[in-house]
Amino acid sequence: MAALGQATQAVATGSALARARQRAAHIPDLLVEAHRVANTVIAGWHGRRKRGIGENFWQFRPYVDGESLSRIDWRRSARDDNTYIRDREWEAAHTVWLWADTSASMLFQSSLAPVSKQSRAMVILLALAEILSRSGERIASPGVLDPIATRNASERLATAIDLQKSQMHFPDVAQIGRHSDLVLISDFLDPAEAVIEKLAPIAKRGIRGHVLEICDPVEEAFPYRGRTQFIDPESGSKITAGRAETLHDDYRRTYLARRESISENLRRLGWNFITHHTDQPASTALVALHTHLSGVPGGGIRTVTA
Amino acid sequence: MSALSLAFGAPAVLFGLLALPVIWWLLRLTPPRPKAEIFPPLRILARVLKKEETPSKSPWWLTALRLLIAALIVVALAQPVMNPRNAQVDNAGPMVLLMDNGWLTAQDWNQRVAVANTMINDAEAAEVPVAIVFSAENNHNASPDTAASARERLNAVSPRPINSDHKGAVEAILSAMGDTPIGTLAILSDGLHDANADGAWQDLLALAPADVRLFESNDRNVVALVSASNAANGFSVSAQRLDTSSAMTTKIAANDSQGRPLAQGELQFEAGSSDGTALLSVPFELRNDFANISIDQTANAGARFLLDESARRRRVGLLSAEPLDLSQPLLSPLYYLTRALEPFADIIVPEEANLSDAIEELMAQRPSVLVMADIGTVPQDAEDDLLEWIESGGLLLRFAGPRLASGSRDDPFVPVELRRGERALGGALSWSEPQSLAAFSDHGAFAGMARPDDVTVNRQILAEPSPDLAAKTWASLADGTPLVTSSPVGQGRIVLFHVTAEATWSNLPISGHFVEMLRRAVLLSKTTAGQQSAGDDTILPPYRLLSANGTITLPSGAAQPLKVAAGTVPTISYDNPPGLYGTESGFVALNVMQPAQTLTKFELPAFPGTPVRSSYIGDESRDLEPYLLTAALLLLLIDSIIVAVMAGAFSRLITRTSRSMAAGLAALMFIAMGLVAMDSPAHAADEKPGDSDILASLDRTHLAYVLTGDRRTDRTSALGLDGLTRFLSYRTSLEPGEPVGVDLETDPLSLYPMLYWPISADAEPPSTEAISRVDTFMKNGGTVLFDTRDALAGLNATGVVSPQTTRLRNILAELDIPALEPVPSNHVLTKAFYILDAFPGRYRGSPLWVEAAQDTDTIDDRPARAGDGVSSIIITGNDLAGAWAIDDNGIAVYPTVPPDPVQREHAFRSGVNIMMYMLTGNYKADQVHVPALLERLGQ
């Protein structure tokens, strides 16, 4: 009897991109409904070319009474008689940071699933990038791609991931600014405490997170029987169970408890947590992510226009 | 050579067994390989898997199994041979084979032949001539010859059902060998000793053969049946055995002539005794069908004992002075005798009326027993014949009677001297009372029988007192006078009952003891009595022969007729093998064992040197290698299956099987539950839509009307039937439930006795299916009341046909309707409840049409027509429902035409009569006779 699961080759981003486009075609243009994006009716996309809260310089304008003195740009004001205020460009343009786990455990694919976890993660990641870039969001990937806002962001992201060979277990999130959205796609097989320990500081920094857990159906159902040796694809350590079916109930309890714990903690942090099984179509996860990115879960789905 | 000798072709390989501990150590280290599975959530699994469950070594029994496999292979490679032959034939002279082929060799003949073949092969290898002699043959040829011819002779010979003749065989060897020294003397003994041969054996052994080998069978259960006879309480069988060391029980069976077993018994041998007995207690009637006795599971001639007619039914001749009077059989002694003897004896009655001729006729048929009932004097010319017959073993059974009482004193055919005249007990002029019987004598044929309490004797013949009277008495009365006496005459016997054979002198003949007493007396006789007359030899042809293996065959050409000399018991020989001799009508059985013959174990007389003894069984050397290798392979297969099971190869299969089994079980249980619940009407599976409606309408009678689809008509019908229901409840004992509207297309009709069908020309005509349902309803006893409601328009002579009538005609055209007639004045409808002469509704004038009565010829004779079978159709045009219709306040909805309250009352009465007629049928027709009946009774 063949083994239920197998380790697959990491999927090429090129083919993943093609599939991602296919998936993305089903999803309506993603307009990130951030409550901070107040004015969306200005011409152009997102109307962000105006003064507002931001880091980049936008314009100097004369001081009007009643404005905060602290906003006066004294250097400019010193050049003539007027007092100027330095306006910054409104940084409403949302940067959505996308990250997918590419570790060895993600390369697992069982006979019950059509694709490996990594393949599914890459498809969802690129589809998300496609959708976001189509709607003019800025796409970035921590440690892989700096924020860009182009129409072909998904291709760029795919290329960057392809070029970036080293498999980071967890991304460096220091460069992610506040008010950004962070999409994390992984299997989160670490103990729940370890996962939360990593994610909690990020959440504290005001980053909105959307966590997608990808799991293979075998990992959840545990259909093993008889004498079985289990091999960890990452560490290579082995465990042999004399009668695997006896572990079924205990394992499932622990596995689901871990998921429950992560989910509960993330909800407390204000993050979203989605579980996706690789035997389900990728679109389901994509729609769920889309919904969460759109703001209101369940209320964000627009009519399909494309 | 022991029975379990073992040798190895390559003993060095056995050192391989030393490697077993190493194999054991290796096996311990290699558990069955687990199935490898990549499993990313290993850390979660590791938390669940508390301790290392996996055994580091396979279970001990698996290790033991594998060690056993290894050991088997090693031993097999060492080429083990069981019973290796290592004896070499002595080549000092010819080899002499003395082979027994008597009756005892039949069972293991093939093994004996195999041993002889081996010996011949050995002699051939040693290049010595072979002399083979068979002990149960007619002429013994012991001349040495080549091995090939010896083999030919061996193959030609077969076991014979006779005793081995060692003397003849050994003497043949002696004469054939002459001075030639004997190399090897091999004796293939059947285990029986021939007492005549001792001298010959000593002569033979005096020749000092270089090598003496004695092959003996190690069968310890050699049993031969010796005799079988019919005893009073069963069929007794005796047997002899060879080995007397321990007690033994052997099953025997009695078979009929077709070989079917009739009875079974057990032959008991006590330890130390060679005699065994068995008693087959079976009904007497069955014993006569026994043809032979056989020992189960033993196939030789000694284990089958043939029975001849000596164990058969007795032939009994009946003689009486008065012929059997068929008109008064109960007064004839022959009647009682016939009835009593029939179950166990063949009865012959002489044709001749003359007593002398009758005796002669009976003697010619050679009966075992002659019964003479009240014959006073035997004719002089028959006396000698009769006496001779008795002396040669015949049994004369006499019954007393008036003639014997007045017979001559010197009657030679009485066992005791009789006193003339009879003794009457309990007569009118006697003080004495009828005597009952005393206990039976211990020495007679009746010994052991219970004393009959219910037998009384009124009259008897007395014996003269004599010293030996008591010895001759088998049964006596309570006062000591003899009732049955007997004395032997020659080989035969005379028995006298001192009472009559009919129930005049005593009630013994109508007692059950009479049968038993006769049976015991008859058993004393010999069946062969008079068959062989003394003094001359009889020659009997073979009829059936017994083969050596105990089967009964047709005679072969070799068997010679049996000469039976007078007074001698024939013995078996080569010419006269055991079997049945004679013809189908009468034969003599010749068995292997003669009575009083015993079995003796074969022993060689003492001689210088010792014989090499061996057995026949397991003598062949056998290469064990293939067996061991096969066993190892099988164990290997088992091991593979075990390993596969442990690795979970079948787990999915098992799960699927158990799942499907569970499903099957569930299905079975479901079916069972369904079967159990079938009786309960409330079971969900049986429920159909509308059941509740049916149940609701079952408890009461409901009036029903047909929903025509015309709202106005339907409402009128509902109100009308409601009004009639109220009227019925008020006036009669019939209290119907709510009226029900019935849709002819769908609703069940069988729930209602009557269907009111107002014909509406506007409504949709009913479909063909609905019409056929109405037809079924009418055929099954329902009544349809058609109402065309057109009395004002139609059903008159004008020829104008109203649309309603047209519709009705259309409907009726498809129904199977008998001839109709208007209700005649004496129809039961006019008398069913009210006396009516018309049946008005809203209108009056339209007649009420019913089925025409069949008995039109008697129409005037009876006050009412017996409508056996209610008319299934009633047609009116008077709009009955319109007249019955009342609203909730009890006020009529429609006026009558003409407006007459009496007409409405009559309309209701019409309805009541119609309902009563429908529900009671011709009951009311009978009621009209009541006045006439009462008048006839005079009240």
Q: What is the CATH number of the domain that holds A282?
A: 3.40.50
Q: How far is CA B583 from CA B307, B443, B540, B587, in A?
A: 14, 38, 8, 6
B99 φ, ψ to 5°?
-115, 120
Residues in B closer than 8 angstroms to A227, CB to CB, are: 32, 34-35, 54, 646-648
Could you give the angle at the alpha carbon of B824 between the alpha carbons of B823 and B830, nearest 5°? Answer: 70
Do residue A247 and residue B48 have CB atoms under 8 angstroms apart? Answer: yes
| Interface contact A241-B53, CB threshold 8 A | yes
The interface predicted TM-score (ipTM) is 0.71
Please give the residue that has the higher pLDDT: either B619 or A18: A18
CB B804 within 8 A of CB B759: yes
Identify which of B235, B265, B239, B237 has the alpha carbon closest to the alpha carbon of residue B251: B265
Q: Which of B32, B40, B652 lies at the smallest CB-CB distance from A233? A: B40
Report the alpha-carbon distance of residue B851 to residue B867 in Å, rounded.
10
Q: Which of A6, A237, A254 faces B42 most closely, judged by CB atoms?
A: A237
Check if the beta carbon of residue B463 is closer than 8 Å to that of residue B419. yes
Same domain, A103 and A83: no
CA–CA min distance A280, chain B (Å)? 19
Is residue A153 domain-shared with residue A249, that is, in the same domain?
Answer: yes
Q: Note whether residue B547 is domain-resident.
A: no
User: Would you say residue B594 lies in a domain?
Assistant: no
Distance from C-alpha of B542 to C-alpha of B555, rounded to nearest angstrom? 6
3-state secondary structure B787-809: ECCCCCCCCCCCCCCCHHHHHHH
Q: Which helix (H) or strand (E) holds B134?
A: strand B130-134
For residue B42, what are the domain limits?
A: 6-83+632-646
Average pLDDT score over residue span B866-892: 82
What are the phi and psi torsion angles at B68 (to 5°)? -65, -40
Same domain, B360 and B288: no
Q: Which residues of A touch B37 (CB under 8 A)?
A: 3-5, 224, 228-231
How many whole angstroms separate alpha carbon B669 and alpha carbon B675? 10
Same domain as A77, residue A219 = no
The reply to whether A27 and A163 lie within a common domain is yes
- Cβ pair B53:A232 closer than 8 A: no
> Is B776 in the same domain as B823?
yes
Q: How far apart are CA B139 and CA B223, in angstroms?
A: 28
Mean pLDDT value across residues B777-790: 84
Domain boundary among B499, B523, B547: B523
- Coil, strand or helix: which one is B456? strand
Name the phi and psi angles at B289, rounded to 5.
-90, -5
Quote the minimal CA–CA distance from A138 to chain B in Å. 33
B395: phi then psi, degrees, rounded to nearest 5: -115, 120
The whole-angstrom separation of Cα B149 and Cα A45 is 122
In CATH, what number is assigned to the domain containing residue B695?
Answer: 3.40.50.12140
Mean pLDDT throughout B470-485?
Answer: 89
Q: Is pLDDT of B512 > 80?
A: yes
**Chain B interface disruption, residue of A120, A229, A275, most B CBs within 10 A:** A229
Domain, as residue range, for A107: 5-37+93-293
Q: Are residues B837 and B713 in the same domain?
A: yes
- pLDDT, position B910: 92
Which chain B residues touch A229 with a CB distance below 8 Å?
34-37
User: pLDDT under 50 in chain A at which residues?
Assistant: 28-47, 296-306
Mutate to test the interface with A, among B38, B43, B56 (most CBs of A within 10 A): B38
CA closest to A191 among chain B residues: B44
- B89 found inside a domain: no
A143, A207: one domain: yes
Contact call for B39 and A5, based on CB within 8 A: yes
Three-state secondary structure call for residue B390 = helix
Q: List the single residue in B with minimal CA-CA distance to A220.
A: B41
How long is chain B?
A: 939
What is the biggest distance separating any 2 CA atoms in chain A, rounded to whole angstroms?
88
| Mean pLDDT score, B441-466 | 85
Interface touch A231/B46, C-beta < 8 Å = no
Tell me if B44 and A251 make a contact (CB, 8 A cut-off).
yes
| Interface contact B40-A244, CB threshold 8 A | no
Which domain CATH number covers B424? 3.40.50.880
Are B382 and B461 in contact, with CB atoms under 8 Å apart? no
From residue A150, give the alpha-carbon distance in Å to each of A42, A130, A163: 20, 10, 19
Interchain CB distance below 8 Å, B35 and A189: no
Residue B753 inside a domain? The answer is: yes
Task: Give the tokens for residue B904.
Answer: 């409405």
The 3-state DSSP class for residue B383 equals helix
What residue in A sits closest to B49 (Cα-Cα)?
Answer: A247
Based on the fold, state whether residues A110 and A247 are members of the same structural domain. Answer: yes
> Å from A119 to nearest chain B CA?
15
Task: Please give, rounded to a whole number of angstroms, the shortest distance from the CA of B657 to a CA of chain A.
Answer: 15
Q: Do A232 and B40 touch (CB under 8 A)?
A: yes
Pairing, β B542-546 against β B579-583: antiparallel
Q: Which residues of B touch A (CB under 8 A)?
A: 32, 34-49, 52-55, 646-649, 651-652, 655
pLDDT at A47: 42
Q: Are residues A78 and A206 in the same domain?
A: no
Cβ-nearest to B49 among A5, A232, A241 = A241
Assess whether B376 and B511 both reside in one domain. yes
Residues of B in contact with A255 (CB under 8 A): 41, 44
Chain A residues whose CB is inside 8 A of the B32 CB are: 227
B38, pLDDT greater than 50: yes
Nearest to B170 by CA among B119, B130, B207, B115: B207
What total of structural domains would you count in chain B?
6
Question: Domain boundary at A88, A103, A127, which?
Answer: A88
Contact present, A112 and A217 (Cβ < 8 Å)? yes
How many domains, in total, are found in chain A? 2
Same domain, B449 and B391: yes
Beta strands in B344-438 (DSSP E): 345-348, 369-373, 395-399, 418-424, 435-436
Greatest mean pLDDT range, A10-24, B180-194, B737-751, B904-918: B904-918
* Residue A303 maps to a domain: no
Q: What is the 3-state secondary structure (H, E, C) of chain A?
A: CCCCEEECCCCCHHHHHHHHHHHHHCCCCCCCCCCCCCCCCCCCCCCCCCECCCCCEEEEEECCCCCCHHHECHHHHCCCCCCEEEEEECCCCCEEEEEECCCHHHHEEECCCCCCHHHHHHHHHHHHHHHHHHCCCEEEECCCEEEECCCCHHHHHHHHHHHCCCCCCCCCCCCCCCCCEEEEEECCCCCHHHHHHHHHHHHHCCCEEEEEEEECHHHHHCCCCCCEEEECCCCCCEEEECCHHHHHHHHHHHHHHHHHHHHHHHHHHCCEEEEEECCCCHHHHHHHHHHHHCCCCCCCCCCCCC
pLDDT of residue A92: 55
When pLDDT is cut at 50, 70 and 90, the band that residue B595 belongs to is confident
User: What pLDDT digit, counting tens, does each position of B272-320 carry?
Assistant: 888 888 888 877 667 777 888 888 888 888 888 888 766 566 788 888 8
A176 and A257 together in one domain: yes
Q: What pLDDT does residue B312 have?
A: 65
Copy the structure tokens of residue B688: 């159909």
The nearest alpha carbon in chain A to B655 belongs to: A225
Span B149-159, average pLDDT: 88
Q: B59 to chain A nearest CA, in Å? A: 12
Q: Whole-angstrom Cα distance, residue B352 to residue B359?
A: 9
Region of B61 (left: φ > 0; alpha: ψ -120 to 50; beta: rest) is alpha
Same domain as B58, residue B154: no
Write the residue in A108, A226, A242 that is nearest to B55 by C-beta.
A242
Rounded CA separation B234/B254 (Å): 12
Question: HEC string of B201-237?
Answer: HHHHHHCCCCEEEEEECCCCCCEEEEEEEEECCEEEE
> At B655, which amino acid appears?
T
Specify whether the CB–CB gap between B144 and B173 falls below 8 A. no
Residues 6+ apart with CB under 8 A from B324: B332, B334, B335, B349
pLDDT in tens, A278-305: 888 888 888 888 778 765 444 333 333 3
Per-residue pLDDT tens for B405-453? 877 777 888 888 888 777 777 767 677 788 888 888 888 778 778 888 8
Q: Write the CATH number for B264.
A: 2.40.30
Interchain proximity B53–A243, CB inside 8 Å? yes
B665-674 exposure pattern, b = at least 16 Cβ within 10 A, e = fewer = eeeeeeeeee
Question: Which of B45, B647, B648 has its CB closest to that of A230?
Answer: B45
- Do both B215 and B256 map to the same domain? no
Report which of B417, B411, B424 is spatially closest to residue B458, judged by C-alpha positions: B424
* Residues A138, A105 within the same domain: yes
For residue B263, being part of any structural domain is answered with yes
Share of chain B above pLDDT 70, in %: 85
> Domain for residue B570, yes or no?
no
The answer to whether the CB atoms of B39 and A240 lie below 8 A apart is: no
The pLDDT tens digits for B791-804 are 776 545 556 677 88
Shortest alpha-carbon distance between residue B57 and chain A (Å): 12
Q: Determine whether the interchain pair B41/A189 forms a contact, defined as Cβ–Cβ distance below 8 Å.
A: yes
Question: For residue B498, is it within any domain?
Answer: yes
Does any domain span residue B541? Answer: no
- For B5-72, give the DSSP string: -EEES-GGGGGGGGGHHHHHHHHHH-PPPPEEEE-TTHHHHHHH--S--S-SS--HHHHHHHHHHHHH
Q: Best mutation site among B30, B33, B37 for testing chain A: the one with the most A CBs within 10 Å?
A: B37
Scanning the structure block, which residue is given the tokens 């009657």?
B411
Q: How far is A149 from chain B (nearest CA, A)?
A: 36
Which among B35, B43, B47 is the nearest to A1, CB-wise? B35
Buried b (16+ CB within 10 A) or exposed e, A218-227: bbbbbebbbb
**Nearest CA to CA, how far is A193 from chain B (Å)?**
13
Top-confidence range, A269-273, B177-181, B355-359, B798-802: A269-273
The helix/strand count (H/E) of chain B reads as 24, 40
Residues of A with CB under 8 A from a CB of B: 1, 3-7, 105-106, 108, 187, 189-191, 216, 219, 224-235, 237, 239-245, 247, 250-251, 254-255, 258
Tokens representing B418?
């009789």
- Is the pLDDT reported for residue B246 higher than 70? yes
Nearest residue of A to residue B42, measured between CA atoms: A232
Residues B306 and B317 in one domain: no
- What's the mean per-residue pLDDT of chain B? 80
> Residue B709 and residue B712: Cα distance in Å, rounded?
9
Stated as kind and residue range, the H or E segment containing B920 is helix B901-920
Instruction: Please check whether residues B160 and B296 belong to one and the same domain.
Output: no
pLDDT exceeds 90 at position B908: yes
Tokens 């007249």 found at: B883
Quick check: B648 and A226 CB within 8 A? Answer: yes
Mean pLDDT of B156-168: 86
Residues in A touching B39 (Cβ below 8 Å):
5, 219, 230-232
Q: Are B361 and B316 in contact (CB under 8 A)?
A: no
Q: Which residue has the tokens 């018309």?
A: B838
B36, A239: Cβ pair inside 8 Å?
no
Count contacts between A and B (CB, < 8 Å).
107
Residues of B in contact with A113 (CB under 8 A): none
> Is A124 a member of any domain?
yes
Chain B contact probe: residue of A4, A239, A275 with most B CBs at under 10 A: A239
Nearest-CB residue to B40 (from A189, A228, A243): A189
In degrees and rounded to multiples of 5, residue A118 shows phi and psi of -65, -40
* Strands B492-497, B395-399: pairing kind: parallel
Q: Are B684 and B670 in contact (CB under 8 A)?
A: no
Strand (E) positions, B538-620? 538-540, 542-546, 552-553, 562-564, 579-583, 586-590, 612-615
